[in-house]
Amino acid sequence: MDIYLSRLFYASTATEKCTPQEVDKIVFEGRQHNAALDVTGTLCFENNYFLGCLEGSRKNINIIFNKIASDDRHFEVHLLELKEVSHRYFEQYLTMFNSKDIVQHLIDQNRIHEFNPYLLSSSHLNEVFRDVTETLEIATKPPPLTKPKKGLLNLFNTSR
């Protein structure tokens, strides 16, 4: 039994195969699969990049991260940080928030011109996600788990 609560941040780049409908599927599948493993977190999608945060047992986070790394809808999957934590930032998967707010916080904190999760420092990731979950308006529960439909991506994609 893995009793250590852990948090993992990762970045990846969407492939040409990763259409808006495929991103919707990623969100849908992630919510289903991660909930079954008691893993919470969130996902940002901007400028063709994904930035994900997973929280749960180290064992279950590794199961999910290995699945993510082998998914052909994206490439250059980088582990940005994995560490033990005392509490979760996110109570559910996928917690919804205004992606524009978090992306802007990350750009400002890291002094970069546009969103590129590969350039983010892990200390800034933690600070920004903590601040966002404490101060910005976050939905208390995600929308009902329904099969993806065209247009759901707008919840996560600020580039449209």
**CATH number, position 73:** 3.30.70.100
Spatial CB neighbours of 3, under 8 Å, sequence gap ≥ 6? 57
CA distances from 117 to 13, 14, 120 (A): 9, 12, 5
Residues spanned by the domain of 26 = 5-155
Structure tokens at 133: 């979950």
Does the pLDDT value for residue 46 go beyond 60? yes
Report the mean per-residue pLDDT for the chain. 78
Q: What is the residue type of 23?
A: V
Whether the pLDDT of residue 9 is over 50: the answer is yes
Percent of the chain with pLDDT over 90: 31
User: In which band, very low, low, confident or very high, does the pLDDT at 75 lie, cut at 50, 70 and 90?
Assistant: very high
Residue 72 is assigned to a structural domain of this protein: yes
- Number of structural domains found in the chain: 1
pLDDT tens per residue, range 103-137 = 777 777 777 778 888 988 888 788 777 777 776 54
16 lies in a domain? yes
On whether residue 79 sits in a domain, the answer given is yes
Question: Per the domain annotation, does 160 fall within a domain?
Answer: no
> Residue 150: which pLDDT band, with cuts at 50, 70 and 90?
very low
Say whether pLDDT at 149 is over 80: no
pLDDT of residue 16: 92
